[in-house]
Chains A and B, each alone.
Chain A
Amino acid sequence: MNTNSMPATSASALRARNMHIFYGNFRAVRDINLDIPRQKITALIGPSGCGKSTVLRSFNRMNDLVPGARVEGEVLFKGRNLYSPEVDVVEVRRAVGMVFQKPNPFPKSIYDNIAFGPQINGWKGSKAELDALVEQCLLRAALWNEVKDKLKQSALGLSGGQQQRLCIARALAIEPEIILMDEPCSALDPISTLKIEELMFDLRRHYTIVIVTHNMQQAARASDHTAFFMIDADRAGTLVEYSETNQLFTNPKHRRTEEYITGRFG
């Protein structure tokens, strides 16, 4: 249905094919075809309730946790459908990490927050190697210099922006290929937001990033591709337009996209 589902770029990290998502009998998302390019930042934008978060959470099967949620169609990752019965959801979430809207560090020490992921995934290395991994993740998340002297202190003592970077570091520790970010800056101040955006640009060299954002400026300045979602007549979310970010913001093909990005609704 969507002819504009595939920007002409490098290989895709994720492909959604004819994806419908239901909550009980309610169809929340209709017929999504979307290719997420590898090692790029893809932003999902659209008005509230348009299903962009639902789509994001379908990429690591977070929707499994919602009673009654159901996905039809396919999400292809390395040629396999994430929703096929023989795929292990735990493995999916190892490969596709997630950062949430509100920083949600565990009520443990900074160190333990990072070490948690490797430990539950059968960490075999020594304590020194784990120390090194923690340091590396914190360095990558641009947090090391701020916390290196208090690794054993509770993560809840950090500021909101630091907590969110800790959550990013935590996600990096399990070495995912894709990182999903669900409005990661909506609870942060502008300076912390900027830091996260800079971090995203750094991370792009190693990871594929998909970010949901309410903030159109953020999508415009911090993403390579942008997908615009809207609610159709049945209140189901649909993908309206998907292209390179520059193109979508300067020369949108659809009238609804233009109306949205110029602030006429939403």
Chain B
Amino acid sequence: MAKQLNMQATRRLVGTNKQATRTRSLAKRPRRGERVIHGILFLCGLVSILTTVGIVLVLGNEALLFFRDERVNLLEFVSGTVWQPQIGEFGILPLLNATLLTSLIALLVALPLGLGAAIYLSEYASPRVRSILKPILEVLAGVPTVVYGFFALTFMTPLLQRLLGQDTVEFQNTAAAGIVMGLMIVPIISSMSEDALSAVPLALREGAYGLGATRFEVATRIVLPAALSGIVAATIVGVSRAIGETMIVAIAAGGRPFLTANPFKAAETMTGHIARISGGDISYGSIDYTSVYAIGLTLFVLTLALNILSQRIVRRFREVYE
């Protein structure tokens, strides 16, 4: 019995061996599964590219309708100081100004805080502290922007009013919106910057420590310059986020286009205006409708320019460490 089993086993072994020999020809074999996966992965990338192309086309097309209208003049659009579609005034400057103002305030808040947090996490915090703090900081990025909007309106504005007086600070103002927007993008900047700082090789830090550098000198003079491109990228993502942010500014910055450099006055941003107009009574093809696309196109150009500019800056100042 045992012998029989043994023989069976031997036969099976020989069998598999034969098979192996047969298939070890070097002939090309079709691998259909591989090709399907290749295709699916390619489609995944294609979808987002096509979406971008589609958005640009729609934006451009509708914006073109706007600029073709006889009530509109491109020069007035880029230089006009009044935006009042009802009386045919289409000057983008008040909206653009409010957007730049809120974004600048946001950047002034977010860059020092975010970079400071990133340097703390990567250069000062112990691994344990970092493993706790970083996820908590990133949770902030998940708070819905409508919550931030009401936080600006019901906390930041009263705070500013208490500090600076109710006469100076209006109920809606770009400062409160900008500050809260800044707080919102702190996690983006800190998290991405921390990644860039941590990626700087330990050997560079050791070299600096070995020369008697303090932690702060290592962080600011060695690690920061080496991580600059990542930090600029983080800042650009943050600023783009601030420029595109809608809910906070719609709630807290103001509901009327108004050209002012005073951050304590109400002023409507481009995104805020788009949200308000499209939320109201708007008829397809009207100039109100197409004007929204013109603003959208301006936003698009703005962020694009920002990206190109930042890439230039990075190329000039970056310290490549590899």
Instruction: List chain A positions with a Cβ less than 8 A from chain B.
Output: 60, 62, 65, 67, 90-91, 93-94, 97-98, 100, 102, 104-108, 116-117, 120-121, 154, 156, 167, 170-171, 173-174
Contacts and interface: CB of A to CB of B under 8 A. Distances in A.
A67 B212 contact: no
Contact of B209 (A65, A91, A171): A65
A104 B221 contact: no
Interface stretch (B12-20, B200-208, B238-246, B297-305): B200-208
B209 A93 contact: yes
A106 B205 CA distance: 9
A93 B211 contact: yes
Given A67-B127, A107-B321, A156-B320, A117 B211 contact: yes
Interface residues of B, number: 23
B319 interface: yes
B201 to A, nearest CB: 7
B222 interface: yes
B210 A97 contact: yes
B320 A93 contact: no
Contacts of B221: 116, 120
Interface in B205-236: 205-214, 217, 221-222, 225-226
A171 B204 contact: no
B286 interface: no
B126 interface: yes
Contact of A171 (B201, B211, B213, B321): B211
Contacts of B127: 67
30 contacts: A62-B209, A90-B212, A90-B213, A91-B212, A93-B210, A93-B211, A93-B212, A94-B211, A94-B212, A97-B211, A100-B203, A100-B207, A100-B210, A104-B203, A104-B206, A104-B207, A106-B204, A106-B222, A107-B204, A107-B319, A116-B208, A120-B212, A120-B221, A121-B211, A156-B320, A167-B207, A170-B207, A170-B211, A173-B211, A174-B211
B187 to A, nearest CB: 25
Nearest to B226: A107
In the complex, which of the residues A65, A93, A102, A104 has the most CB atoms of chain B within 10 Å of its own CB atom?
Answer: A104
Nearest to B319: A107
A96 to B, nearest CB: 9
B128 to A, nearest CB: 9
A62 B226 contact: no
Contacts of B206: 62, 65, 98, 100, 104
Contacts of B319: 106-108
B213 A120 contact: yes
Contacts of A98: 206, 210
A171 B210 contact: yes
Nearest to A65: B209
Q: Which 10 A-B pairs have the closest CB atoms?
A: A107-B319, A98-B210, A94-B212, A104-B203, A117-B211, A107-B321, A93-B212, A104-B207, A120-B217, A90-B212
B203 A90 contact: no
A173 to B, nearest CB: 8
Contacts of A91: 212
Interface in B277-322: 319-321
In the complex, which of the residues B126, B204, B210 has the most CB atoms of chain A within 10 Å of its own CB atom?
Answer: B210
Given A104-B201, A104-B206, A120-B213, 12 more contacts: A60-B210, A67-B127, A90-B214, A104-B203, A106-B207, A107-B226, A107-B320, A108-B319, A116-B213, A120-B212, A121-B211, A156-B321
A37 B290 CA distance: 84
A93 B210 CA distance: 6
A211 B102 CA distance: 58
B314 to A, nearest CB: 14
In the complex, which of the residues A62, A65, A107, A156 has the most CB atoms of chain B within 10 Å of its own CB atom?
Answer: A107
